[in-house]
Structure 1
Amino acid sequence: MKSAVETLSPTRVKLTVEVPFEELKPSLDAAYQSIAKQINVPGFRRGKVPPTVIDRQVGRAAVLEQAINETLPKKYAEALEANDLVPLAQPDIEGLEIADDEGFGFTAEVDVKPEIVVPDYTGLTAEVPDAEITDADVDEQVEALRERFATLNDVERAAADGDFVVLDLRATKDGEVVDGAEVSGMSYQVGRGGMIEGLDEALVGLSAGDDKTFETELVGGDLVGEKVEVSVKVTQVQEQELPEIDDEFAQMASEFDTVDELTADVRERLGRGKRLEQAAEARDAVLEALLDKIEIPLPETMVTDELNARRSSVEQQLAMAGITMEKYLEDEGQTVDEFEADLERRVRDAVAAQFLLDEIAKKEEFGIDQAELSQHLVRRAQQSGQDPQEFANHMFEHNHIPDLVQEILRGKALALVVEGAEVKDASGNPVELKNLRPDGTIGEDEPVDESAEGSDEGSDEASEATATESDDKADDKA
């Protein structure tokens, strides 16, 4: 087999492959044998029909097509390996030429990993904000704890913002009840939001026994974007009574005897959380500093596909939360153009980081063992809220283990870069990175520390560079 490469761009090539007849012949013989078992020809036993008869009955072209369909993928893979190319997508096969007894040839255009000259990744510097714990932070946590131990008392007055109500609700479209939009006896806090647009405004001023009908637009389900009529009836109005913040409350809500002990523990927990957040920020800042040292060409098809996947994911999450894109952008203080620009920036950084970390892992000759893979499987399962065994089975069944291995290798590369960097906070103090796991994620303990999961959620290109979750989500939908 002969192959040649034409570089169309830094991330796309054109392969020209010529396969001689002697390399096609084994597949051609197999095709004849397969067809011989499928046809009935008078005078010949099934499976014993000679090739010349098959050519007359079925046609030589059909046999050649079957043989080439079997041979072409193998020769394409061999051409990639021979030319040291890493494909990023399915190829566009063109120019298939068949010369019968002389073999066949074809061309394949495909996106490939760009060639990268890895910059020096030692001694990087970065700065992150101070990990400050304010009294307001502590008060907010104590207040949340008070609300968990609050009592609800029935009141004979109209509902106000912050009250709880017990309600019956039904949404209809053209007189028909919308599927999944009818509840009865549900407790709901007025002003909490996140359910149906316009519900909070409708509830304010209603007393027990009152009802109201209003029109709204659905943000999820089969009727997303359509207007429906919502009927809501209040059966109870309840006022929240919060416990006093005293030693009795501390004993009821925790293992501590005094409020001072409780607030000190809250402050310590917040401090650990802030340090984890700061470690994640330091990791991301170091990676950003490394990316600033190199320009990496990106396959536009890959960027576009990832953009579409991210955009779709955001829209699905908003729909599940009952929030419109317009409301989300308003809350974030962003225009549509600003949102799109920020999303594209993050996608491009994430793709570039993947390429760069892959090269560093290759240069350092990193490997992984079974224990590391098992820990990573458990962590990914926890992050997605799935049973670890079911998650592992899914990843094996859909051949995603190589993706997970690559995630771990990228994480190791990232950990190496970060550990060799000097990171300080805004006050000039060195930032400890002892919470950086060997796979590049952030946590306090090994193996997996569930309490630290949230610390990984806020990172951009760092976490995105070491995770490829869209593959298994796509499989789930299929």
Structure 2
Amino acid sequence: MQVSIETTSGLERRLTVGVPADRVDSEVNNRLQKAAKDVRLPGFRPGKVPMKVMQQRFGAGVRQEVLGEVMSQSFQEAVVQENLRPAGQPSIEPRNLEAGKDLEYVATFEVFPDVDVQDMAGFDVERPKAEVTEADVDNIIEVFRKQQGNWGTVERAAQDGDKVNIDYAGTRDGEAFDGGTAEGSDLELGSGRMIPGFEDGIVGMSAGEEKTLSLSFPEDYHAEELKGAAVEFKVTLNSVEEMKLAELDEALFESYGVTEGGEEQFRKEVSENMGRELRNAVESRVKQQVMDAVVDAHEGVDIPQALIAQEVDAMRSQMFQQFGGAGAQDMDLKSLLPDEMFAENAERRVKLGLVLSEMIGKFDLKADADKVRETIEELASTYEQPEEVVNWYYSNQEQLSSVESKVLEDSVVEKLLEGANITDKECSYQDALAQAQAGAQN
């Protein structure tokens, strides 16, 4: 097999591969001879079809099949021979496919870059320092009580937190505008669902009352024609409901998985879950900062466009599924969710993956079995039957590999933190969670 290699630009390589004709022709003949034993054609006994006839009837199709397989196999052999690491699938351009002559084709593809791991000692990390207070537990329990509570009609003026039923009609310069009118619409006051001033204007109104609100749409409103527009809403309040919180009783406790121990045990488990959530949030925030530092320290890394394209496709599919995507076969997802939406984050993810992979090798890190087990048990602890969840992870190779990858990433983070400047910053439980969430969205 003849192989020549050319660097076209950056990470792109072009391989010209020549494969001896005999490798293709002999495989075609072998397959035709094997098929002749079973093929049935009019005028010939089973197993007695002449090779000339087999060539005429099936030769072209079999050859096409063999050519595809030989090009795929020989490409793999060529990249091994030339010590190349392809990133993504190659583009194959046949040069000569003629029977009896050497097969020749050109494969164009990108290779993985050589990543020079930078010394990152001295980078800064701000670590949230918080604790779960009794007040935090009270707040979460009130959320639970609200989730299990019921709305009930009240005969009083509307207050923040109430649910109101309203009719409204919006006008701009005396003319109605699209989306500005509704009847019998439920609205929770304080939810921030409507434009600024709308919900505040309803506070203090009573059932049957009408009111005109003079407001302005935000300058960053999604509808271009309404950005910053001055409008009026005529609002009629039909009814007011307040939330009746669920009682702190056995029914509430059982709905959250606590069947014994009453309120004391319920509070204990809520506090433990919040503590676990806080630890995860702090670890996540610290990890986010380490990953940002890794990306910043390796700005010059070349990134294969093929890997970015793959990551964009994966992110697009993930977003589509998150929004309950159905009937994808009938949609042009690239038009609905264009590449530009994901390109920046995709490039960051790919770069991060390349650098972390190189760091794992440089630091000679392995996915410690005890840490993998500990991580799985932590994930399983929130389920009613944790042992079943643990067994599921260990019986599902894909899920187990995902946990192992996380453990390896965490090992890289621990290694890099050894040389970091870490500053603890006091904050509340809610602030710690908010910081982690904000970092995850960036």
Q: TM-score scaled by structure 2? A: 0.59
Of the three residues 129, 135, 140, the one matched with 1:131 is 129
SS of equivalent residue, structure 2 residue 297: coil
CA apart distance, 1:162? 1.5
> Structure 2 vs 1, CA of residues 166 and 28 (structure 1 numbering), >3 Å: closer, same or farther?
same
**CA-to-partner distance for each residue in 1:192-242, whole Å, 9 max, x for gaps?**
3679xxx9799986849x9xxxxxxxxxxxxxxxxxxxxxx9997432467
Contact 1:283-1:418 within 8 A present in 2 as well: no
> Structure 2 vs 1, CA of residues 200 and 378 (structure 1 numbering), >3 Å: closer, same or farther?
farther
Report the Cα distance in structure 2 between the residues aligned to 1:239 and 1:419, rounded to whole angstroms: 50
**Residue 425 in 1 paired to residue 423 in 2?**
yes
Q: Which residue number corresponds to residue 280 of structure 1?
A: 284
**CA-to-partner distance for each residue in 1:57-90, whole Å, 9 max, x for gaps?**
3264433212212322222222233233333322
Report the Cα distance in structure 1 between the residues aligned to 2:243 and 2:43, rounded to whole angstroms: 92
How many residues are matched? 358
Report the Cα distance in structure 2 between the residues aligned to 1:46 and 1:379, rounded to whole angstroms: 64
CA apart distance, 1:128? 1.2
Contact 1:207-1:234 within 8 A present in 2 as well: yes
**Residue 255 in 1 paired to residue 264 in 2?**
yes
Report the Cα distance in structure 2 between the residues aligned to 1:418 and 1:187, rounded to whole angstroms: 51
Most deviating of 60-69 and 307-316: 307-316
Q: Which residue number corresponds to residue 97 of structure 1?
A: 96
Q: Which residue number corresponds to residue 306 of structure 1?
A: 311
SS of equivalent residue, structure 2 residue 88: coil
Report the Cα distance in structure 2 between the residues aligned to 1:375 and 1:281, rounded to whole angstroms: 20
Q: Which residue number corresponds to residue 347 of structure 1?
A: 346
Contact 1:4-1:17 within 8 A present in 2 as well: yes
Of the three residues 297, 301, 311, the one matched with 2:302 is 297
CA apart distance, 1:285? 2.5
Matches within 5 A, 1:199-210: 207=207
**CA-to-partner distance for each residue in 1:331-365, whole Å, 9 max, x for gaps?**
xxxxxxxxx79x65443222111001112223445
SS of equivalent residue, structure 2 residue 86: coil
> Structure 2 vs 1, CA of residues 159 and 305 (structure 1 numbering), >3 Å: closer, same or farther?
farther
Matched letter for residue 302 of structure 1: L
Q: Which residue number corresponds to residue 106 of structure 1?
A: 105
Query: RMSD over aligned Cα, in angstroms?
Result: 5.6
Contact 1:287-1:418 within 8 A present in 2 as well: no
CA apart distance, 1:44? 3.7
Matched letter for residue 303 of structure 2: L
SS of equivalent residue, structure 1 residue 118: coil
Q: Which residue number corresponds to residue 29 of structure 1?
A: 29
Identity of matched residues, %: 22
Report the Cα distance in structure 2 between the residues aligned to 1:378 and 1:127, rounded to whole angstroms: 28
Report the Cα distance in structure 2 between the residues aligned to 1:353 and 1:303, rounded to whole angstroms: 12
Contact 1:377-1:391 within 8 A present in 2 as well: no
> Structure 2 vs 1, CA of residues 346 and 202 (structure 1 numbering), >3 Å: closer, same or farther?
same
SS of equivalent residue, structure 2 residue 421: strand
Report the Cα distance in structure 1 between the residues aligned to 2:48 and 2:393, rounded to whole angstroms: 47
Unaligned runs of 5+ in 1: 168-183, 211-232, 244-251, 321-339, 430-451, 465-478
Contact 2:372-2:404 within 8 A present in 1 as well: no
Structure with greater Cα Rg: 2
**Residue 142 in 1 paired to residue 138 in 2?**
yes
Matched letter for residue 142 of structure 1: D
Contact 2:308-2:347 within 8 A present in 1 as well: yes
Contact 1:165-1:188 within 8 A present in 2 as well: yes
CA apart distance, 1:32? 1.0
Matches within 5 A, 1:382-421: 404=402, 407-408=405-406, 410-411=408-409, 414-415=412-413, 417-421=415-419
CA apart distance, 1:28? 1.5
Contact 1:27-1:71 within 8 A present in 2 as well: no
Report the Cα distance in structure 1 between the residues aligned to 2:102 and 2:45, rounded to whole angstroms: 30
Higher relative contact order (CA 8 A, sep 6+): 2
CA apart distance, 1:297? 0.7
